[in-house]
Amino acid sequence: MNSAGHGSGGVADPGHDVAMHLIPILVLANDRLHAVDVGQMLGAQHALDLAARHCGAAIEQQQAIAEAACERQVMQHDDDSLSALAAGAQQLHDPQLMHRVERRDPLAASYRDARLYLNPPPSLGGLLIHLTLDLLSQQRLDGVCFGSLAHRHLLASAMRLTQDLRAATGDTGLDPALLGRYRALMRGTTLFRRGTTQISIADADGNLASMTLSNGEGAGYLLPGTGIMMNNMLGEEDLNPGGFHQWAPDQRIGSMMCPTLVAHAGGGWSVLGSSGSNRIRSAIVQVLSNLIDLGMPLHEAVDAARIHVENGTLNLEPPCGGALVDALREHWPDILAWSAPSVFFGGAHSVAIAADGSLSGAGDGRRGGVVRRV
């Protein structure tokens, strides 16, 4: 069974800032977890083959094939071709280093009584999702009604503290002492004061794969002789807050993409991820919280109305009645209440294997998600 859909990308700056990007894949096969970054040059079909058709021992074979393909394609554009990039483009001093399969252990984390396996560094998404859930775990949500003032205020507070902590430490790591202070702030939180695609797969043998693929919208520049268009990820403000023409050479760009696997305490697994630029992490956090904290069935956890905090603004998906908005406004003065569900809030296409082996799926209707059993 697989669940998939599409999304939208960021801002293009043709002919100037360009950077190669990666396809992150998280795979469970033969009781082993694999986190694999596949160079964008390989394309979606190679990534899908790696994720869905050749699990387990065949990953080593696919890795060798992928590396050979990268080497062949890198040879097609020599140093002269690279130097022909438009003025201001990022020069890749050693292109081979940017086009290879990287195999890493997933970022393992605990949330409540569940075990999570997230996209590891150099991805930023997994770390930030882990941080938000860590902060959220400082509050009890069992018995909290979904969509209530308490529920949305606590989610929004965890998201805001995550943004504040990231701004204070950057993406190079978290100071444990500083994290402890932010945990204390969360414990003190009370009510009284187009471009990205997610594919989630599960099969009857218990193999799982979650893949998030982003092409951006293209930088308007083709690598000579390859037919490959460079992406526009340096136009993503959340990934490149310094703006155009400020990216340091030979520095790999991060990503908010975070394919995710969840091992539930009562047995069974959930497979998810999301599109949505900087809303990726808030979409995944809320689906995970709906599943783990509130015990929602998968389709309800995905379909449930979402929130997103950005630059001090609390975005609310409907239903959000006037009384709820007024109560929230005491804590969140800047509120944007949306009139309908929107692609803005991500596309968390998900599948699950229950403890009894039964399969289920939920395509996120915000981004045209569908579920297929094959």
Active site residues: 196
Q: Are strands 313-316 and 335-337 parallel, antiparallel or unpaired?
A: parallel
- Are the C-beta atoms of 40 and 21 separated by less than 8 Å? yes
Compute, in degrees rounded to 10, the torsion defined by CA atoms 237, 218, 346, 234: -20
Chain centroid to Cα 58, Å, comes to 26
The C-alpha atoms of residue 310 and residue 308 are separated, in whole angstroms, by 7
- Residue 192 corresponds to which tokens in the numbers above? 């009284």
The C-alpha atoms of residue 50 and residue 182 are separated, in whole angstroms, by 39
* 8-state DSSP, 188: T
The C-alpha atoms of residue 72 and residue 64 are separated, in whole angstroms, by 12
Of the candidates 311, 306, 347, 348, the residue with the CA atom closest to the CA atom of residue 332: 311
334-354 CB burial, b ≥16 within 10 A, e <16: ebebbeeeebbbbbbbbbbbe
Distance from the first to the final alpha carbon of the chain: 6
